[in-house]
Amino acid sequence: MRLEFINRVKENDILGKSILTNEGQVLLRAGVKLNNVYIQKLKELGVFYIYINDDRLGDIDVEDTKLSELKRVTMRSISNIMRNVHSCTGKKLKESLRAVEDMISYIIDLGDVNKSLNDIQTYDNYTYVHSLDTCIMAAFLGISSRFNGWDIRELGIGAILHDIGKTQVPIKILNKKGRLSEEEFNEIKKHAVYGAEMLKKNLSMSSSIIKIVEQHHERIDGKGYPYGLSGNQISKYAKIVCICDVYDAISNDRCYRQKFNPNDAYELILSGSGTNFDEEFVKGFKNTFAIFPLGCCVKLSNGEEGYIIRQNKGFPDRPVIRILYDSMTKEPVPFYEINLLSHPNVVIKNIV
């Protein structure tokens, strides 16, 4: 399976991973043969890349069927909570959060980080996929930080609800293209407080979860918002969600800006260690997440192009690359592999 930019997708390619709506329904199911109508519709929906089946990369498995189903149910639950936040109390809330808990339990027991992220986003489902990915990243970072099961549950629920306060921010501000005015930005910044107040009043959440929602934009050096907290004034859960929220947000295109390239997004987190982000959790981030996802095509500094087939744990920028074609003629060649750990002078320049 390969990860392909939508502009490089061709008619008769086979979709490798299903695309979901913001209601958790299947928009386009894995296995469908793509035609020009499908491809054009995906472009109109704001899809920038998709997974394509490829026999030459058949050993790349990015689909965990069980986790995909749990994520689909969780997406539907997030949608229900966000749309009915003022009335979502008691039994209804517990049922919605049970889906999140089931997904987190599965991640704790059987989760593979390389099969858990990089869901396909559209304009409509961005908010829900972002919340979902932030939750999943936070759970894996909690595992690497040796949190216990209860801590990871609290962390995951807080992460999936971290932006719930944005339901109180005018949509015209959230989706505005171009620079926000000072007044508009101040309104955006209030979403952390709005979210905490909503949870306190309506959802009877634990203080740990409320602090995640309230503090996920605070910074270690005290330059965050809404209260300018610093260091140990910020909860450990919020410190983790802060990293995951920022990384996922800048790794995806938005209506008001293009996404960062993977190296720059990763470097932003590492360079913020000790100022924006907690040093220990940044170390955990580096040891947990790779820069480039499995199946994506990259150009190397030696001029060759190939697909990432395996990650080297602890070396996020040094995966194993499979070369399938001549970089000049684009003609297929007997494929071979380059392990970047064994070739220190070769680096990844960019995704192609």
The string of pLDDT tens digits covering residues 313-327 is 888 889 999 998 887
The 3-state secondary structure of 4-38 reads EEHHHCCCCCEECCCEECCCCCEEECCCCECCHHH
Place of tokens 């209860």: 150
**Is pLDDT of 266 > 50?**
yes
Q: How confident is the model at residue 231 (pLDDT cuts 50, 70, 90)?
A: very high
70-84, 239-253, 261-275, 312-326: segment of lowest average pLDDT: 70-84
Q: Strand ranges (DSSP E) for the chain?
A: 2-5, 19-20, 26-28, 49-52, 297-300, 305-312, 315-325, 332-339, 348-351
Distance between first and last Cα of the chain: 16
Indicate the pTM of the whole model: 0.84
Q: Bridge-partner residues for 222, per DSSP?
A: none
Query: Which whole number is the average pLDDT over 237-262?
Result: 77
H or E element in which residue 159 lies = helix 149-160
Instruction: Give the span between the Cα atoms of 257 and 127, in whole angstroms.
Output: 15
Distances (CA, A) of 327 to 134, 190, 275, 332: 36, 50, 41, 9
Residue 256 has a pLDDT of 43
Higher pLDDT, 19 or 340: 340
**Is pLDDT of 344 > 80?**
yes
b/e map 195-210, b = 16+ CB within 10 Å: bbbbbeeebebeebbb
Give me the amino acid identity at 119.
D
Q: What is the pLDDT of residues 199-228, one digit of tens each?
A: 887 667 889 999 999 999 999 999 999 999
- Indicate the average pLDDT of the chain: 86
Task: With beta carbons less than 8 A apart as the criterion, state whether 152 and 237 touch.
Answer: no
Query: Which whole number is the average pLDDT over 126-149?
Result: 89
H or E element in which residue 92 lies = helix 90-110
**Is pLDDT of 254 > 80?**
no
Q: What is the pLDDT of residues 9-59, one digit of tens each?
A: 999 999 988 887 766 678 888 899 999 999 998 888 878 888 999 988 888
Residue 128 has a pLDDT of 79
Count of CB atoms situated within 10 Å of the CB of 312: 15
Instruction: Give the span between the Cα atoms of 13 and 28, in whole angstroms.
Output: 13
Q: What is the pLDDT of residues 186-196, one digit of tens each?
A: 898 999 999 99
Q: What is the pLDDT of residues 45-93, one digit of tens each?
A: 878 888 999 988 888 877 778 888 888 888 888 877 777 666 555 566 7
Instruction: Give the span between the Cα atoms of 31 and 254, in whole angstroms.
Output: 28
List the structure tokens of 260.
């960062």
**Is pLDDT of 140 > 50?**
yes
Instruction: Give the span between the Cα atoms of 317 and 300, in whole angstroms.
Output: 12
